[in-house]
Structure 1
């Protein structure tokens, strides 16, 4: 759940939030998704490429759940997990299997990689926290090889018949969990508000199409509060 997060007021604020919540991050993701989060991360890993070798980049790696899932699924691959939160990366490095991933501090808006470096890119909860979404997506397009897959796990603004109930749950339950579990209501109030204000999957798909991605699709999860999107860089 990370971002460009090293430039500007928003990035400084978000960086501080993720530094603070790193110790509770996995537990809160489990509670907020009723245990579904790791399953979604495994789906992201499965969608980015069939099992085998290759070079993969996991952005906003956080505590490394997606990166580790990619590494387990592709034991012959090179997996790099990038995040702007030093504390998140410190915790990722302590997890079982962490030696299979190259952990790197970095800025999603200015990736330290050559053009067409990766066979696949994954990310979890990155885009809603960045200051310049188009720039971040352009960077991903730049470092992805032609024919490579991009798979995104994101929150989704509530819609449809359940919208009033979901909005109430986000507004009340998420900050309350933050208060009880992490002793940090303010950080989870920000995460709740950024979920409600974020772009729709249709909007993200339009931005990906405009950059030259093809085969774009998505699947909503958990009362449409989360979404997995995928796209392929045109050859």
Structure 2
């Protein structure tokens, strides 16, 4: 995957995205993702890969200081239209190269983005960088099952799936390992499809 290919794929996906990824089990997963979050009025929240804005309807967005970024202009434009009446700042930006200061956000939210970007390690590093000390990082994505290797079937089909704009072979445990001394794991919960998709909640030390 690369940025150019992702831009092309998500231009195609944009008109249909909510039909697949903001309904049924995915909608329930998003609801579970945010149900225990204790946002305070005025908290600074960064949504990385906000897409069509599917996550935003699950939070009190009118009480928060929200910045939402995406690399796909088509996806971002849908979010802008949905939330045109709000103060949410929507920006076209690469998750691998955030144009933001260190230690800026109380919450950094990344739904279905880490398995999309070309360099997942760089994107995760940027998420950690812009989160405040004692701030939280909230992730909803698909990862290789904890303590297991990718099955032979998935290994065979992984290159094909990547052509559709996502990767089924990312291990969160390996991604997290270099940062474990600077982060606290609050939650690592299976959400949907027998643990293929997980909720991961981290706190920055």
Aligned to 1:194: 167
Aligned to 1:60: 49
State how far apart, in whole Å, the 1-side matches of 2:129 and 2:146 are.
33
CA shift in 2, pair 1:16/1:24, >3 Å: same
CA shift in 2, pair 1:204/1:159, >3 Å: closer
Secondary structure at 1:56 match in 2: strand
TM-score by length of 2: 0.82
Q: Superposed, which structure 2 residues align to 1:114-129 within 5 Å? A: 114-129=101-116
Q: CA deviation at 1:97?
A: 6.9
Aligned to 1:204: 175
Residue by residue, what CA displacement relative to the aligned partner does 1:118-157 show, whole Å, maximum 9, x if unpaired?
1101011111122222221221111111000000000133
Secondary structure at 1:108 match in 2: coil
Which of 11, 21, 26 is the matching residue for 1:19? 11
Q: CA deviation at 1:230?
A: 0.9
State how far apart, in whole Å, the 2-side matches of 1:207 and 1:131 are.
19
State how far apart, in whole Å, the 2-side matches of 1:26 and 1:37 are.
10
Secondary structure at 1:215 match in 2: strand
Q: Superposed, which structure 2 residues align to 1:62-77 within 5 Å? A: 62-70=51-59, 72=60, 75-77=62-64
State how far apart, in whole Å, the 2-side matches of 1:227 and 1:153 are.
6
State how far apart, in whole Å, the 2-side matches of 1:17 and 1:205 are.
28
Aligned to 2:123: 136
Question: What do you get for the CA RMSD once the two structures are aligned?
Answer: 2.9
Which of 29, 45, 66 is the matching residue for 1:79? 66
Aligned to 1:213: 183
Q: How many residues are aligned here?
A: 198
State how far apart, in whole Å, the 2-side matches of 1:137 and 1:193 are.
16
Q: Does the CA-based 8 Å contact 1:58-1:80 persist in structure 2?
A: yes
TM-score by length of 1: 0.73
Q: CA deviation at 1:17?
A: 0.5
Q: Does the CA-based 8 Å contact 1:122-1:151 persist in structure 2?
A: yes
**Runs of at least 5 residues in structure 2 that lack an aligned partner in the other structure:** none
Q: Does the CA-based 8 Å contact 1:68-1:98 persist in structure 2?
A: no
Q: Does the CA-based 8 Å contact 2:144-2:170 persist in structure 1?
A: yes
Deviates more, 1:42-51 or 1:138-147: 42-51
Deviates more, 1:117-126 or 1:10-19: 10-19
State how far apart, in whole Å, the 2-side matches of 1:126 and 1:49 are.
23
Q: CA deviation at 1:109?
A: 1.2
Deviates more, 1:75-84 or 1:145-154: 75-84
